[in-house]
Amino acid sequence: MPTTDFSYLSATEIARLIRRREVSPVEVMDATVARIEQRNPSLNGLIYLGFDDARREAKAAEAAVMSGTDLPPLHGVPAAIKDLFDFKPGWPTTFGGVRALRDNIAQFHCPFAERIEKGGAILVGKTNAPVMGLRGVTDNYLFGPTNNPFDTTRNPGGSSGGSAAIVADGLVSIAEGTDAGGSIRIPAAWCGVYGYKPAFGRVPVVMRPNAFAGDLPYVFEGPITRTVEDAALAMSVLGGYDPRDPLSLSETVDYLGALKQSIKGFRIGYSPNLDVFPVDPRVAETVERAVGAFTDAGAQVEEIKLGIRYSQRELSDLWLRLMMPLNMGTLEAVKAGGLDLLADHRGDFPPEYLHWIESYGQTMTAADLRRDQAMRSEIYDAFQAAFATYDLVITPTVAALPVKNEAGGNTHGPREVNGEAVDQGIGWCLTYPLNFTGHPAASIPAGLVDGLPVGMQIIGRRYADADVLAASATFERLRPWAESYRICAERVI
């Protein structure tokens, strides 16, 4: 292995090499910058490059190594954060490519950036996202679409699409995902990487002026990586109580220890469609084959029905309505800062976004919200009933294969799946019901269809992060996917 190429080394391996003084953080950073400069133009995954900051921090990391002080777990490992509600002082924040915010500079850290840096990682830049994160693909009018490294004519999914794309293409080994409807898991599925959404409250979400805004629906932050071990390592520095988040948890989880846990004897409920979602047969067949790995590991797998009585269209409409208070809060906060985006910059927003804001966000009543919370409660009850019998529930992550990117900055998801109409923003994603409920869930690579990745969603009991990681690690040992990145690595630039 040439020591100047760290492209597909895991974060765990890079940190180990640095700790043993076999490579220096400066050497790793120089190689990372070179790879980003070579390959990011074909991906458009990173939309802000913080190389000056990164190189300065790499030199400080090298000095810490040479001083012999104790090193944090991710010391010297390059990483990236997302350009949505994610902040590092002095770096721009455009809320997903809103043109009017191109010069909006953050003056504080978000918890993810704060904790990943405290854990030793070095941030190299910010990744592309859709406007306000309100769709399952990554495209916007300011930066344009991100391309999928498995096929650069296609989208990587969203909203953390830039993060998933650069991890799959070996630019960094860890990138931030945020997830209010699947935004960690959707792009992980379409980019063939591992996306971990922890149980609600594990990673603090700090919001102001409304400190409680992250529960309608549940909003999560978590890592996107190529290996399960890297996700567990990242969680070891990201997780834990934060007094600024009234909903954060103080319980300690041994994330790395969970990787050694056996799932022999686990009861696993396999839902091929969450009762009501149409699923592309190629996706369904790939996930059904993948589920067999859990039987090989000694678990009992049974196909189940959850008893969901709403249609998939009713569920996606519910999610979009529940997202309105959070989005209205953001727009009002920006307006309080002197910028009325809806009045003066309507052209910065896709028409679909404006439809939901104006038809629902500005007109919803307390009675409307009460009815929607009752619908949400039924989904929670359905999952809780399943977990009274089963340790895990397995589903496809998304129902379709990656879509082609469109011109003009407004790429859409599929209009229909198996002949059934779905909402193009989120209706093809079997992820957002878990943002109603708060259960931990991961998307893990299940296989390829015509060279395009398919994801499998692993869902655990409420707060049972260790079970999800144990099952993920077991699957990775039995059905390793690392070889699939050859498709990305051999792509001609």
Where in the sequence numbering do the catalytic residues fall?
82, 159, 183
Distance, CA of 44 to CA of 147 (rounded, Å): 7
H and E: helices and strands count for the chain: 17, 13
In Å, how far are 17, 93, 99, 119, 213 from 63, measured between CA atoms? Answer: 15, 31, 40, 16, 41
**Helix 228-238 to helix 11-19 angle, to the nearest 10 degrees?**
70
Task: Judge whether 94 and 105 are in contact, CB under 8 Å.
Answer: no
Burial of 70 (0-12, 13-18, 19+ CB in 10 A): exposed
Task: Judge whether 215 and 326 are in contact, CB under 8 Å.
Answer: no
> In this structure, what token pair is assigned to residue 1?
């292995």
Which amino acid is located at 443 in the chain? Answer: S
Distance, CA of 21 to CA of 14 (rounded, Å): 11
272: left (phi over 0), alpha (psi -120 to 50) or beta: alpha
Distance, CA of 85 to CA of 139 (rounded, Å): 16
> How many residues in the chain?
493
DSSP string, 407-472: TTS-----SEETTEE--TTTTTBS-THHHHH---EEEEEEEEETTEEEEEEEEESTT-HHHHHHHH
Beta bridge partner(s), residue 195: 224, 443
Distance, CA of 157 to CA of 451 (rounded, Å): 16
> In this structure, what token pair is assigned to residue 341?
């985006």
Contacts of 11 (CB under 8 A, 6+ apart): 74, 77, 79, 121, 173, 174, 225, 230, 233, 234
**Helix 228-238 to helix 111-118 angle, to the nearest 10 degrees?**
100
Distance, CA of 367 to CA of 376 (rounded, Å): 14
| 3 state SS for 52-77 | HHHHHHHHHHHHHHHHCCCCCCCCCC
